[in-house]
């Protein structure tokens, strides 16, 4: 009886030491789930979720401070992906944070009106606006995420939102119409 | 090598009513020329072509209008001589119904060709890569419907068998049939050229058994050829035997694995019309500017095959064939299984237009919802790729991407066999197209968001760098000022005076230079 207790105690200590050693030797820096959440977010960096960018929002979700349905640019697909990752329920987008756009958008600067003040350049979170003080500012549309953060700072209101229309090379088919025309048996 | 009689078969497939007789009653007729030609810059699989001409340019027949965008792309040539009037968006034949960039040319009806220097019989002395270049420069793409740039497929590594696809398994379409009946020898010449490029040992011409005249014509042409390179293989008429992987299974008994290429099995497939186009390119230095198109269906008055220039408006083609009947309904590009409906006929014929099918209104039709899936499994029985269409339908409806990929959604060839047999009339292929395009869109968005993340991280790094550099500068300046105040002695006054003296000297030197400049200017005036 005594030997059984000693044996079990020794086994428990050995495993305890192995675990303690592993916890120190194989420690992971940071929280890996934040990276996984950030990988699912659209990187628009717009702040509609009330956080200062996609990474802060990912960190908030990981901490449990934010819900998964606060991202309008991500839309339904992102909510579903986050629910899958974190094993929580899918819920509809929280309308307080904005609406899903029907078409992707970018912004365009009206060159006749631009005064070269660089305020929009400083506002862009992905450095998608080209220009310098008193030089023409231009949006590099391929890099514009449609976050619209450049629009409020512009003192002459020369930045406009432009919808990006689909082309034959990047269109998406629709779910089929459920109605169809059928020949009636005569 | 296999005996010609030993052929295999693929799983699934359907026997369909062919309606081929509608358009085979006459020989190929030539379309008269139009006033305006609309030539889309994307008529092929791959990257859009880049225009070499601009509005106002005069172009000759056969002149290259646009060069390939990259490796997987094709050149585009002018079908007539005339003047480029515009390059802008216009409706094109695409399943999305969206427009695309097109070159508009006004025909001057002079039919003036570019200078042509054909290789003709000398091609035997050319290298494979130089022949491939001619085919690439001629803008030749697969004319069976897929429009893949042909020269890209023509590797000379390890190919033993060239299979010419004269199967034409889809109902109503007969353009390859009449081409084989009327131009068999030219097709074999083209196949000879391809065989020379890829160093094939044998060419098998596969034809369905519902085309006895074409089989006879090809066999007659083979008898005149003494090389023993060619063999005809007659195969049973089953849809979709003309699919590349299905045909390879029939002829060789081997399956091309998922995501692999026929070249790995030592086989290359080309459509008979593509072989004909290659013949024209080598023997006549003609780029791809025309094709045979079947105009057929119960909604057109005189169904027939036409030889038509690329860029001809479809409305002219229908007119040439007697116009629409009173009960005409839809205009479809392609056949009844894989074709798609067009919104208007003011759209050009492109390289991939093998058929224009005009349907007639069916009697007694009624709109109704499609019925629910009853899990009967008929779709699974007929799938030629051995997929599970039923499962793909459920997962596509619920947008379950992981499962769709597990069930090999992207191996679906969209042949339509599953939708054809479904007793609930579910438009299955439309579900698969929705799923495929949605997944592609998500992949594009993921790539874009990865780049945006990198740019944002660099943006933050740049701001931090700026802040750090600024603080560095301020720190250095503060230190300098501190050191200066520590050294404050009588040196202070003298150093100040020295600085003032220096400044005065500098100003005087500048003034002197300025006066000197003014003097020389006055002298030259």
Please give the torsion angle defined by the CA atoms of residues B425, B210, B144 and B221, in that order, rounded to the nearest 10 degrees. Answer: 180
Checking if the pLDDT of B62 tops 50, the result is yes
Distance (Å, whole) CA B286 – CA B259: 34
Sheet containing strand B161-166, edge to edge, reads: B230-235, B202-208, B161-166, B267-271
Q: How many CB atoms lie within 10 A of CB A175?
A: 13
Q: Which residue, among A132, A161, A149, A137, has the nearest Cα to A53 in the 3D structure?
A: A149
Residue in A44, A173, A184 nearest the CB of B365 = A184
Residue B492: per-residue pLDDT = 66
Residue in A45, A168, A170 nearest the CB of B42 = A168
Distance (Å, whole) CA B413 – CA B415: 5
Nearest CA of chain A to the CA of B17: how many Å? Answer: 18
Chain B hits for A182, CB-CB cut-off 8 Å, are: 365-368, 425
Residue B211: per-residue pLDDT = 96
Distance (Å, whole) CA B259 – CA B356: 31
Distance (Å, whole) CA B434 – CA B174: 30
Distance (Å, whole) CA B274 – CA B279: 9
Query: By CB neighbour count within 10 A (0-12 exposed, 13-18 middle, 19+ buried), where does B494 fall?
Result: exposed
Determine the 3-state secondary structure of A128 from DSSP. Answer: coil
Nearest CA of chain B to the CA of A17: how many Å? Answer: 40
Test the A interface: residue of B399, B400, B456, B463 with most A CBs within 10 Å: B456
Reported as a single tens digit per residue, the pLDDT across A41-69 is 999 999 999 999 999 999 999 999 999 99
> Within 13 A of B451's CA, how many CA atoms are on the CB side?
11
Interchain CB contact of A78 with B (< 8 Å): no
Radius of gyration for the alpha carbons in chain A, expressed in angstroms and rounded: 26
Residue in A43, A124, A171 nearest the CB of B453 = A43
**Span B141-146, mean pLDDT?**
93
Residue B1: per-residue pLDDT = 40
Contact between B315 and B342 (Cβ < 8 Å): no
Reported as a single tens digit per residue, the pLDDT across B323-352 is 999 999 999 999 999 999 999 999 999 999
Q: pTM of this prediction?
A: 0.85
Residue B515: per-residue pLDDT = 87
Distance (Å, whole) CA A52 – CA A73: 15
State whether B456 and A38 contact (CB < 8 Å).
no
Domains defined for chain A, CATH in brackets: 32-97 (1.10.15.40), 102-166 (3.30.70.20)
Test the A interface: residue of B453, B462, B463, B465 with most A CBs within 10 Å: B453
Q: Write down the ipTM of this complex.
A: 0.84
State whether B445 and A168 contact (CB < 8 Å).
no
Residue B496: per-residue pLDDT = 81
**Span A96-109, mean pLDDT?**
90
Checking if the pLDDT of B368 tops 70, the result is no
Distance (Å, whole) CA B145 – CA B291: 12
Reported as a single tens digit per residue, the pLDDT across B71-98 is 999 999 999 999 999 999 999 999 999 9
Nearest CA of chain B to the CA of A8: how many Å? Answer: 45
Phi, psi of B270 (to 5 degrees): -140, 145
B288: CB partners within 8 A, 6+ apart: B77, B138, B139, B140, B141, B277, B281, B310, B351
Residue A178: per-residue pLDDT = 64
Distance (Å, whole) CA A177 – CA B14: 26
Q: How many CB atoms lie within 10 A of CB A164?
A: 14
Q: How would you label B74-103 residue by residue, b for 16+ Cβ within 10 Å and e otherwise?
A: bbbbbbbbbebeebeebbbbbbbebbbbbb
Residue B367: per-residue pLDDT = 64
**Span B215-243, mean pLDDT?**
95
Count of all residues that appear for chain B in the document:
525
More confident residue, A160 or A186: A160
State whether A125 and B456 contact (CB < 8 Å).
yes
Label residue B298 by pLDDT band (50, 70, 90).
Answer: very high
Reported as a single tens digit per residue, the pLDDT across B2-61 is 444 689 999 999 999 999 999 999 999 999 999 999 999 999 999 999 999 999 999 999
Residue B366: per-residue pLDDT = 67
Nearest CA of chain A to the CA of B191: how many Å? Answer: 33
Reported as a single tens digit per residue, the pLDDT across B376-407 is 999 999 999 999 999 999 999 988 899 999 99
Cβ contacts below 8 Å, chain A against chain B, sum to 105
Determine the 3-state secondary structure of A83 from DSSP. Answer: helix
Label residue A186 by pLDDT band (50, 70, 90).
Answer: very low
Residue B207: per-residue pLDDT = 97
**Span B427-456, mean pLDDT?**
94
Chain B hits for A44, CB-CB cut-off 8 Å, are: 449, 452
| Mean pLDDT over each residue of chain A, to the nearest integer | 90
Reported as a single tens digit per residue, the pLDDT across B125-138 is 999 999 999 999 99
Residue B364: per-residue pLDDT = 67
Residue in B92, B363, B430 nearest the CB of A176 = B430
Q: How would you label A21-32 residue by residue, b for 16+ Cβ within 10 Å and e otherwise?
A: eeeeeeeeeeee
Contact between B231 and B213 (Cβ < 8 Å): no
Residue B494: per-residue pLDDT = 74
Q: How is residue A88 annotated by DSSP?
A: -
| Mean pLDDT over each residue of chain B, to the nearest integer | 93
Interchain CB contact of A176 with B (< 8 Å): yes
Checking if the pLDDT of A185 tops 60, the result is no
Residue B3: per-residue pLDDT = 43
Domains defined for chain B, CATH in brackets: 20-333 (3.40.50.11540), 377-465 (no CATH)
State whether B367 and A181 contact (CB < 8 Å).
yes
Reported as a single tens digit per residue, the pLDDT across A8-24 is 999 999 999 999 999 99
Label residue B514 by pLDDT band (50, 70, 90).
Answer: confident
Nearest CA of chain A to the CA of B358: how many Å? Answer: 17
Q: Which residue, among B190, B199, B186, B191, has the nearest Cα to B159 in the 3D structure?
A: B199
Q: For a pLDDT cut of 70, what percent of chain B falls above it? A: 96
Distance (Å, whole) CA B342 – CA B362: 18
Reported as a single tens digit per residue, the pLDDT across B146-184 is 899 999 999 888 899 999 999 999 999 999 999 999 999
**Span B246-251, mean pLDDT?**
96
| Cis? peptide before A118, omega within 30° of 0 | no
Chain A hits for B440, CB-CB cut-off 8 Å, are: 170
From residue B421, alpha-carbon distances to B373, B428, B463 in Å are: 12, 10, 62
Checking if the pLDDT of A183 tops 60, the result is no
**Span B271-284, mean pLDDT?**
97
Reported as a single tens digit per residue, the pLDDT across B279-294 is 999 999 999 999 999 9
Nearest CA of chain A to the CA of B10: how many Å? Answer: 29
From residue B523, alpha-carbon distances to A184, B511, B514 in Å are: 104, 19, 15
Contact between A137 and A128 (Cβ < 8 Å): no
Residue B83: per-residue pLDDT = 97
Contact between A147 and A89 (Cβ < 8 Å): no
């Amino acid at each position: 009886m005594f030997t059984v207790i000693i044996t079990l105690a020794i086994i428990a200590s050995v495993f305890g030491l192995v675990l303690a050693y592993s916890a120190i030797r194989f420690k992971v820096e940071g929280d890996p789930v934040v990276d996984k959440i950030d990988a699912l977010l659209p990187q628009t960096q717009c702040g509609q979720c009330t956080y200062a960018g996609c990474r802060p929002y990912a960190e908030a979700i990981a901490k449990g401070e934010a819900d998964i349905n606060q991202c309008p640019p991500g839309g339904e697909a992102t909510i579903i992906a986050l629910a899958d990752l974190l094993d929580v329920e899918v819920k509809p987008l929280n309308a307080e944070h904005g609406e899903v756009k029907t078409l992707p958008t970018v912004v365009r600067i009206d060159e006749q009106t631009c005064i070269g003040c660089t305020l929009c350049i400083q506002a862009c979170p992905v450095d998608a606006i080209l220009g310098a003080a008193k030089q023409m500012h231009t949006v590099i549309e391929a890099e514009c995420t449609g976050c619209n953060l450049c629009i409020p700072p512009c003192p002459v209101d020369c930045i406009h939102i432009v919808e990006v229309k689909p082309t034959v090379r990047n269109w998406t088919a629709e779910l089929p119409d459920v109605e169809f025309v059928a020949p009636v048996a005569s | 090598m296999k005996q010609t009689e030993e052929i295999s078969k693929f799983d699934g497939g359907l026997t369909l009513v062919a309606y081929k007789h509608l358009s085979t009653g006459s020989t190929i007729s030539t379309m008269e020329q139009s006033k305006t030609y609309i030539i889309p810059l994307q008529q092929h699989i791959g990257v859009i072509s880049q225009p070499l001409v601009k509005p106002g340019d005069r172009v000759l027949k056969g002149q290259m209008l646009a060069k390939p965008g990259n490796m997987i792309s094709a050149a585009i040539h002018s079908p007539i001589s005339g003047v480029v009037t515009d390059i802008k968006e216009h409706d094109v034949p695409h399943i999305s119904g969206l427009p695309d960039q097109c070159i508009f040319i006004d025909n001057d009806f002079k039919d003036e060709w570019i200078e042509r220097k054909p290789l003709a019989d000398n091609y035997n002395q050319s290298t494979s890569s130089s022949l491939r270049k001619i085919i690439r420069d001629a803008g030749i793409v697969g004319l069976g419907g897929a429009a893949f740039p042909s020269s890209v497929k023509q590797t000379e590594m390890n190919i033993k068998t060239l299979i010419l696809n004269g199967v034409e398994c889809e109902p109503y379409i007969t353009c390859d049939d009449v081409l084989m009946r009327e131009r068999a020898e030219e097709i074999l010449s083209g196949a000879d050229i391809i065989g020379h490029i890829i160093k094939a040992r044998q060419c098998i011409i596969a034809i369905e058994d519902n085309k006895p005249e074409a089989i006879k014509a090809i066999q007659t042409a083979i008898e005149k050829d003494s090389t023993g390179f060619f063999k005809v293989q007659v195969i049973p008429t089953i849809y979709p035997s003309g699919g590349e992987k299905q045909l390879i299974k029939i002829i060789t008994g081997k399956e091309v694995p998922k995501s692999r290429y026929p070249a790995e099995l030592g086989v290359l497939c080309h459509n008979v019309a593509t072989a004909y186009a290659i013949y024209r390119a080598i023997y006549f230095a003609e780029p791809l500017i025309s094709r045979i198109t079947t105009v057929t269906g119960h909604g057109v008055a005189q169904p027939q095959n036409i030889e038509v220039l690329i860029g001809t408006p479809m409305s002219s083609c229908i007119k040439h064939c007697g116009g629409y009947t009173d009960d005409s309904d839809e205009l479809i590009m392609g056949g009844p299984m894989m074709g798609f409906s067009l919104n208007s006929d003011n759209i050009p014929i492109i390289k991939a237009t093998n058929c224009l099918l005009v349907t007639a209104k069916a009697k007694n039709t009624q709109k109704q919802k499609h019925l629910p899936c009853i899990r009967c499994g008929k779709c699974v029985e007929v799938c030629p790729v051995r997929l599970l269409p039923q499962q793909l339908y459920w997962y596509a409806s619920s947008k379950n991407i992981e499962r769709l990929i597990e069930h090999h959604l992207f191996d679906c060839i969209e042949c339509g066999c599953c939708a054809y047999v479904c007793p609930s009339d579910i438009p299955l292929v439309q579900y698969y197209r929705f799923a495929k395009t949605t997944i592609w869109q998500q992949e594009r968005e993921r790539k874009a968001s990865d780049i945006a993340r990198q740019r944002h991280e660099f943006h933050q790094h740049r701001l931090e760098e700026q802040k750090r550099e600024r603080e560095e500068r301020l720190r250095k300046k503060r230190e300098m000022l501190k050191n200066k105040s520590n050294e404050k002695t009588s040196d202070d006054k003298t150093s100040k005076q020295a600085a003032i003296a220096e400044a005065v000297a500098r100003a005087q030197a500048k003034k002197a230079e300025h006066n000197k400049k003014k003097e020389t200017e006055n002298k030259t005036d």
